[in-house]
Each structure stands twice: as C-alpha cells, then as structure tokens.
Structure 1
Amino acid sequence: MTAPTQTFASLRDHLHQCALIASAAELLQWDERTMMPTQASEFRAEQVAYLSGRAHAMRTDSQLARWLDELEGWEAAADPHSDIGATVALARKDYEKQRRLPGELVESIAAATVRGQGCWDTARRNDDYAQFQPALDEMISLQRRAGELLADPGQSAYEGLLDQYEPGARVQDLASVFAGLRDELVQLLSEITVSARQVDDRLLKQKYSVDGQRQLSTELAKAVGFDFQRGRLDETSHPFCTSLGPSDCRILTRYDEDWLPGSLFGTLHEAGHGMYEQGLRPDWYGLPPGTFVSLGIHESQSRLWENLVGRSLAFWKHFTPQINETFSQTATPEQWHACFNRVQPSLIRVEADEATYNLHIIVRFELEQALISGELSTNDLPFAWNERYTSVIGVSPPSAANGVLQDVHWSAGLFGYFPTYTLGNLIAAQLYESADEALGGLDAQIEQGDFAPLLGWLRENVHTHGRKFTADELVQNTTGKPLSAQPLIASLRRRYAMVYDLA
C-alpha cells in the first residue's frame, strides 16, 4: 500500500497541474480583454473552452477519489486548518461539487463567456441592448442548469451559483443583512441631503489628461504596496484583476479625461485585489493554502484600499502635492478629500460614492435572482432595471449603456458574484477597525505615506491563511467578532462628518 505521504504528494502534484491549465485559460482571457482583435473571438472561445474542459476533466478524475480515500484517517490531515488537512478536506469538497457538472456544460459556459463578453463590449459601445440579448439568454440558460446541478438539497439554483463565490452563503441571510444596511444608508443619505454644508465639486468638472492619470495611477498602486516586479497595470473597458501565477498578477483600470476618480479609485481597488493575490503563499499555488477563501474576503481587500485608505483625509494629506503637480492644481487636501467623498445618487456602480454603492448591489442581487429563477425575462430586464434604479437609488438611466449594459458580469456568467461586493464592504470596515487598533492608529501612518504596517497586518491575518478558514471563521479569528454592519456605518459617519453636517 502506498504511504500517505506519497499519496498526498501525488494529490498535490495533480492539483498543481490543474492550476497550470486554468492559469493558461486565464491568460487567454486576459488577452481577450486587453489586446485580442475583435474578429478572433470565435477561435478564442474554442481555445478557452478546450482548456476549461481539460481542467475540469482533471478536477473530476476518479483517481482523485482514490487518493482521497487512501488519505482518509491520516493523522497529518486531522486538523482541517493545517496545510495538509485543509488541502485534503477541500479537495474532497471541490471534487464532489465539480463532479456534478458535465464536461460539455463546463466547455459550453467557457465558450459562451468569451462570446458574451465580446458581444457585451460591442452592444455597450453601440448602446444597443437587443444586440446583447441573445448572448445573455444563452448564458442565463447555461447558468441556470449549472446552478440546479450545484445546489445542495434545500438550495435554489441561484444559491448553487452563489456558493461558488461565497461558500455557504444563503439568500435569506444576505437579504436580511442587506435590508438592515439599506435602512441605515437611507437614513444617512437623508441627513446628507438636508445638510447645510454641501460639496463644491468644480474641481472634478475639469478635464484631466489620460497620460497624467496613467502616471498617477501607477504611482498610487506602487505606493500602497502592489509589486510591479510580480504584476502589471493595463487598460480595459471594465476594470478587473486576474492572477496568472504566483508571480504574475494583472490589474486593469480605465481612464476618462472627464472623470478623474474613476481611474484613481479603480486602480486602488484592483491593486487591493492584486496585493491579496501577491500575498498568497506561492509554494501552495492552486491548492487551498495558496488560494483565496471567498470573493467576499477578496472584495474586502480591494474595498479596504480603495475606500478606507484611498478616500481618507490622511491619504490626501500625503498625496495632494503629487496630484497637484501632476495636473497643475493648487487644491488643498481638504478640497480633494471633499470631492472624492461627495455623496450623490448616480447611474454607474463603479463610480458610485460609498453611501449609495451598496444600493447598486441590492438592485443587481434582486434582479439576477429573478433572471435565474425565470421570474424575470430578458425582454423585461431593461424596464425592471430602470424601475429599480428609480425607486431604490432615485435616478433614471437615460440609456442602456448607462443602465442594464454597464456591467460585464452577466456576459461572463458571473451570477451570484454581485452580493460579494457588499459583503466585501462590510468585512473591509471590520478588518480596518481591528488593524487600526492593533497598529496604534493608521491615520498617522497613512499621512506619512507608510502603508507597510497595514499591508503586513493583512498579510499575517488574511492573506497567508488562504482557504484554511471559512470567511466567517477568518473574520471572527481576526477581529474577535462575527460580521456586523456597524463598523461600516460608523466608518461612513465619521468620514462624512468631515464633509457634511450630520445629525
């Protein structure tokens, strides 16, 4: 009989090979979103489908089950939070989940993702929802089938999809948390709306050169800790981050000379994702100890750097000389800070202020559930989108490009992804609160441009653990408390009190 150590070595090598194939598919998809000629999408879909199918076949190989059976009861794997224990336990869980999906469905989804994103890009540029609708119908049909197969007993198809991004999350629990958060945000918005002090945002109504934005975005990402020796910053139509290996993290942003905050905060957001990827253990790449725990935790890293750090007054006290020099301005840190924290209901999620951002997520969370369940058809989606935006956020989209076509997610099959943004906001505020206490006050460090203590704290308490703890366990272990909305509400009230007169 093979010794457990040898069996585990075989299991680890097999999972690493799966990760190699998956990373090759990720590279092709990164190229698709950055450099690929538009006419190459059909062949690219074939390439990505093939690689995704090969990776799925390896992840569901019956040999995996035999190795895992041999490791049953192995003393070295007894602790589920150890490197070996987490790898064995989560490899079994992943294997059982993946076995529910036929290979042909995995390949079909992968191909539809490439075609769908290309179709979405064109439709958004043309402001033509009808051009995108057939691709969306195809993706919804594929994702509904996948969700039904992935769902555990008692789960809906949507929850089967949600579980891929936030393991263990249930719609009822999320809806309850979001409802409470919504009430708090509505109250905060009402106080800001009637405040006698409002923001003079003429500073942001100027044109800012794209070259200057490129330069400053790169400098900000480098300053907070994104390692350009192990990553790069590029441009795309919808910002994202992808990891192509333990030392190859790609972050992407977009530039608009009429909207400076988009590139600056988009870059800080993606840099936060990238620093999490760069903080995962490279010797366990593709295995649970070297893989992120959930998208809620991943989003907490991006939102922490974008908002808790990047929108703070301390941050702009440090970077005001730099931004003024780059764009020939004479504004004070307080003026930049006020402009970057102005609250106003808006159409575009990625440009929303913190007070209204989660309302954008609530709209999407409700709509995508209805799309997957079949309660809402794609024929009625634009009307439903506009109706929700008017009633929930208080703005009415004038076009599909600024409405239902603004996000890439559904074209990429990412149903169940949106709720993780709000979870990320909640987790980010709670982590930042604990880091601030542990490090003796972050404002003074940030004002001096010293971001290493915060990044080091996140490395130690979040990044290095990989998937060895669930998201709930990680939050509890790191902060000493279960997840709560109160740190986020308290953080928003403190920051907005610097800009508005709050009750």
Structure 2
Amino acid sequence: MPTADDAYAELVTRAKDVALVQSCSAVLGWDQQTYMPKAGAALRGDQLALLAAIGHEKATDPRIGELLAVVETSPLVADPESVPAANARELRHAYDRATKIPKRLVEELARVTTLAQQAWVSARAKNNFPEFRPHLEQVLAFKREEAQAVGYKGHPYDALLDEYEPGATAEEIRQVFTDLSRDLVPLIRAAADSGKKPRAGVLDRELSVDRQRWFAESAAAAIGFDFGAGRLDTTAHPFCSAFGPGDCRLTTRYNPRFFNEAFFGVLHETGHGMYEQGLPADHFGTPVGAYCSLGIHESQSRLWENQVGRGRPFWQHFFPRLNQAFPGTFDGVTPDEFYFAINEVKPSYIRVESDEATYNLHIILRFELELDLVAGNLVPADLPGAWNERFTKLLGMTPRTDAEGCLQDIHWSFGGIGYFPTYTLGNLYAAQFMDAARRELGETALEESFRAGDFSPLKDWLRRNVHQQGRRFRAGELCRRATHSPLSPNPFTRYLREKLSAIYTVC
C-alpha cells in the first residue's frame, strides 16, 4: 500500500493523463467545426470514439479508486479547503460517475454525436429538420441510457445536469427560473409598452467581414485575451475550445448586415477564453486547474459581453474606434443612438442575438423542452411544433422556419442535454460578481478605467476571485467567497431595471 503522499502524486499523474487524452479530443473537435472537410465526418467519429474509449479506460481504472481510498483517509485532506482535499473530492465525484457509464456507451456517444453535428450543420443550412431528426433520436436515446446508468433521485435530467453544474437539480433550476420570470416579464412588458424604439437602421448596415474580424479581435485583445496563446476562427456556431495552458481557440460567425452578431459573440467567447487562460496552469489536468462549473464559465462570457460590453463606459472608449474601423458606415449615428440600439429590448428568434432581458426566456424554453424529451413526454418528431408553440407563448411570435427555431443551436447534436440552464445561471453569477467588483474597486474608478480602455482592474479582480480558484470550491461556495452572498437573482434584475429605466424611462 503506497503512502498518502505517493498515492496523491500517482493520482495527480493519472488525472493529468486523462486530461491530455481529453485535450487531444478537443483539438479534433475544434478542427471538426472549423476546417475539417465534410467527407471526414465518419473517420472523425471513429477517431473521437477511440479517444473517448481510451480516456474512459484511464478515468475508470480501479487503481484510481484504490489511490483515492488512501488519500481520503489521510492527513492530506484534513483541511477541506486545501488543494489535495479539493482534488480528491472532485476526482472522487468524476470517478464515481465515470465508473457507472459503460465504455460502449462512451464510444457510441462520441461516434454518434460527431455525425450528428455534421448533420445539424447541413440541416440548419437547408432548414430541413427531418435530416437531423434521426441523429437527435440516437443522441437522446444514449443520453437517457447515460442518465439511468449514473442514477438520480428526482428527475432523470438531474443526472445529465450534474455533468455541467455538479449538485444542481431540475427542481432547483425550475424554481430559479420561476422567480426570475416573475421579475423579468414586467420589465419586458414595460419596455414594450413605452413605445420607445431606436432609430431604424442604426445596426443594419453593410459591414465588411474582414473589418468586423479586425475590430472584434482588437476589442478581445483590449479586454485581456492573449492572442499569443489563442486564436479566432469562423464556424457555424460560436464556441470557445481550450486545449490546455497556452492554447485556447475562439470562434464566431459573421453577418455582413448586422453588427451585433459577430462583435458580441466574440466578446462572449473572449470571456470564456480569458477564464481558461486565467486558470492555474501549474495545476493543469487536476480539478484545481479546471473551471468550476459551466454556470461559472458562462458568468465570465456574459459578464464581458453584457455587463461590460453593452455598457456606456465601454462604448465611450470604443465608439470612436468603431468609426475608425468602418469609415463612413456609421456616419450620422450618435453614441446615444448606438447605445440604445445595442441594448434594445426586442424579442428575437435567435438566442445568441437576443437582448439581455428576453435572453433568459430562450433558456427557459429549452429547459422545459429538455425535461420533456428526457422524460419521454416529447418525441423528437414533435419537437418543431412543440418549440413553436412554447416560443409563441413565451415571446409572442412564432418562428418562421426550423432554422430560426429548433435547429438554431448546436448543443443537442453534441449531446449537451443539461447544458442550457447554465447560461441563465451565468447571467446571475455575472451580475453578482460585477456588484462585488464595483464595491471593492469603486464603481466610479471602474467606469473611468473602462472609458480609458483599461480593463485590467476588472480582469485582475476576476482572476483573483474566480479564475485562479479553479474547482477548489463548488460554484455556490465560490460565489459566496467572491461576493459575500449566496447566489441570488436580485443583482441581475436590479442591474436590468436600472439600465432599462435609464433607456426607456418607465421600468
């Protein structure tokens, strides 16, 4: 039997080996979405299935269970806040989950989701849900099997949600969404009833894709993304993929007639990327060197996209640079008109293009549909109709095509069932983190730094309080330590109310 120190050292080595295999899979996944030819999908599925099997074998090796048993009963974990204790806690959670899932299922999910993603890209482009439906049926069947294998106390969705937000349950998420909706709906209605709208055409202008890319990259670098350790590419659905220290990839898509889509998409992915670049590199491969949860990850993207990127101080710095980047394009547009346009409360068919207030209604829709899909109360064949019916109820308009309806997101194609609630959790965490940063750094000082184009005070605060903590604490505890309060929707709704009151004067 090894000593506790030797057991812990071997445990860390094994954890890093698993992380390296997962990193190789991430490289292939990024390539699949960016540069891989369409004809390579089947081979890529086999490649990813093999890597998934290797990673699963390493992650479920009985030796890991033996090492954990030694470490968990040793003085190394006497302090529950120590690095060894945090690593042991999270490695135990990962090991117990992984050992419940058959290797066959892991391989098949990797293969099926690779093909499903390619089918989704094609189906979305052609507005052809029947082309994607059989792939969704396969993915859903495997995810149900995964939920049964992992086990759950309440809803089978809990087992899938736990992968992204450890410890959270569907019932807890449902209550958060109910409370949030109660505050959001009156705000959205008041903005609509005000009759105030931005001047038509402020954002609908011909925009060079090359200039959009240059301007978005400039903004990403200005707020703190290190392009010496990352890059930006084009894809069908924006995402951030981090392979490990020194290599983080951002992607976006460009609309030559709508500024918001690429620019705010890049700010969003930059927030993800800065979190990954801020994780403690010397702990790579262990939980303490990994992100806390997807809700916390989303807090970083939504914070930079909205709390900062849609704020007036940000544009007091960047609006002159916008005019330099697009000479003549925004002639006649005042800073106030531009600010109103990028913050307009206006229901959108597309989630990633929606405003801050209605965005969460998109998440509630997907959450409700996922619950029914996983429980078997909704079959994929009926998804387009169910989507449109609930979308109309929530947002007051009906998608004209499946491409702007149930085919708009990539998540179900890669098996990300349980992922969507983390977006709204991210909004709540983001508002609470910003509140805490303003208190500590001074609201006036922080806004002055943004006006001057200096975003380092906020980035440094986030690095200390969020990024460098890795997974040392679970999301709820991390929030309490950083903000001195448990997670609450109040900072988010207060932030929205104050912003919209200034814009619409009625909220």
One-letter amino acid of the counterpart of residue 70, structure 2: E
Shift of 1:348: 0.3
For the 8 Å contact 2:190–2:506, the answer to whether it is kept is: yes
Q: Is 1:403 aligned with 2:405?
A: yes
Alpha-carbon separation, structure 1, partners of 2:78 and 2:221: 41
Match for residue 453 of structure 1? 457
Match for residue 420 of structure 1? 422
480, 483, 506: which is aligned to 1:476? 480
Give the TM-score of the pair, scaled to structure 1: 0.98
More off after superposition, 411-420 vs 491-500: 491-500
Please give the root-mean-square deviation of Cα atoms over the aligned residues, in Å. 1.0
Q: Is 1:95 aligned with 2:95?
A: yes
Match for residue 234 of structure 1? 233
Shift of 1:72: 3.1
Shift of 1:180: 1.4
Alpha-carbon separation, structure 2, partners of 1:382 and 1:196: 32
Match for residue 440 of structure 2? 438
> For residues 287-298 of structure 1, what are the structure 2 equivalents within 5 Å?
287-298=286-297
One-letter amino acid of the counterpart of residue 259, structure 2: L
For the 8 Å contact 1:151–1:161, the answer to whether it is kept is: no
Shift of 1:197: 3.0
Shift of 1:34: 0.1
Q: Is 1:249 aligned with 2:248?
A: yes
Secondary structure of residue in 1 paired with 2:233: strand
Q: Is 1:362 aligned with 2:361?
A: no
Alpha-carbon separation, structure 2, partners of 1:436 and 1:134: 49
Match for residue 391 of structure 2? 389
Alpha-carbon separation, structure 2, partners of 1:315 and 1:5: 49
Shift of 1:169: 0.7
Secondary structure of residue in 2 paired with 1:427: helix
One-letter amino acid of the counterpart of residue 501, structure 1: T
One-letter amino acid of the counterpart of residue 465, structure 1: Q
For the 8 Å contact 1:472–1:483, the answer to whether it is kept is: yes
| Per-residue Cα deviation, 1:405-438 (whole angstroms, up to 9, x for no partner) | 0000001100000000000001100100110111
For the 8 Å contact 1:53–1:106, the answer to whether it is kept is: yes
Secondary structure of residue in 1 paired with 2:67: helix
Match for residue 211 of structure 1? 210
For the 8 Å contact 2:204–2:259, the answer to whether it is kept is: no
For the 8 Å contact 1:148–1:156, the answer to whether it is kept is: no
Match for residue 66 of structure 1? 66
For the 8 Å contact 2:220–2:266, the answer to whether it is kept is: yes
Alpha-carbon separation, structure 2, partners of 1:243 and 1:96: 25
For the 8 Å contact 2:21–2:54, the answer to whether it is kept is: yes
One-letter amino acid of the counterpart of residue 346, structure 1: S
Alpha-carbon separation, structure 2, partners of 1:28 and 1:491: 40
Secondary structure of residue in 1 paired with 2:231: strand
One-letter amino acid of the counterpart of residue 220, structure 1: A
More off after superposition, 70-79 vs 16-25: 70-79
Shift of 1:196: 4.3
Match for residue 117 of structure 2? 117
Shift of 1:499: 1.8
Shift of 1:171: 1.1
More off after superposition, 16-25 vs 190-199: 190-199
For the 8 Å contact 2:275–2:467, the answer to whether it is kept is: yes
> For residues 110-149 of structure 1, what are the structure 2 equivalents within 5 Å?
110-149=110-149
Match for residue 494 of structure 1? 498
Match for residue 22 of structure 1? 22
| Per-residue Cα deviation, 1:15-39 (whole angstroms, up to 9, x for no partner) | 1011111100110000000000000
Alpha-carbon separation, structure 1, partners of 2:306 and 2:21: 35
For the 8 Å contact 2:253–2:261, the answer to whether it is kept is: yes
Shift of 1:102: 0.3
Question: How many equivalent pairs are there?
Answer: 502
| Per-residue Cα deviation, 1:26-85 (whole angstroms, up to 9, x for no partner) | 100000000000000000000001001100110000011111122232112222221111
Alpha-carbon separation, structure 1, partners of 2:191 and 2:144: 41
Shift of 1:232: 0.8
Alpha-carbon separation, structure 2, partners of 1:212 and 1:89: 47
Alpha-carbon separation, structure 2, partners of 1:476 and 1:70: 31
One-letter amino acid of the counterpart of residue 76, structure 2: A
For the 8 Å contact 1:311–1:340, the answer to whether it is kept is: yes
Give the TM-score of the pair, scaled to structure 2: 0.98
330, 341, 345: which is aligned to 2:347? 345
Match for residue 44 of structure 2? 44
> For residues 248-397 of structure 1, what are the structure 2 equivalents within 5 Å?
248-328=247-327, 329-330=330-331, 331-397=333-399
Match for residue 104 of structure 2? 104
Q: Which runs of 5+ in 2 are unaligned?
A: none
Q: Which runs of 5+ in 1 are unaligned?
A: none
Alpha-carbon separation, structure 1, partners of 2:86 and 2:58: 20
One-letter amino acid of the counterpart of residue 362, structure 1: I
Alpha-carbon separation, structure 2, partners of 1:157 and 1:487: 31
Shift of 1:334: 1.6
Alpha-carbon separation, structure 2, partners of 1:102 and 1:446: 50
Match for residue 485 of structure 1? 489
For the 8 Å contact 1:475–1:481, the answer to whether it is kept is: yes
Match for residue 34 of structure 1? 34
For the 8 Å contact 1:150–1:157, the answer to whether it is kept is: no
One-letter amino acid of the counterpart of residue 173, structure 2: L
Alpha-carbon separation, structure 2, partners of 1:335 and 1:450: 24
Alpha-carbon separation, structure 1, partners of 2:213 and 2:414: 27
More off after superposition, 143-152 vs 429-438: 143-152
Secondary structure of residue in 1 paired with 2:207: coil
For the 8 Å contact 1:109–1:142, the answer to whether it is kept is: yes
Alpha-carbon separation, structure 1, partners of 2:39 and 2:237: 20
One-letter amino acid of the counterpart of residue 458, structure 1: L
Q: Is 1:162 aligned with 2:161?
A: yes
Alpha-carbon separation, structure 1, partners of 2:406 and 2:28: 27
For the 8 Å contact 1:199–1:499, the answer to whether it is kept is: no
For the 8 Å contact 2:239–2:252, the answer to whether it is kept is: yes
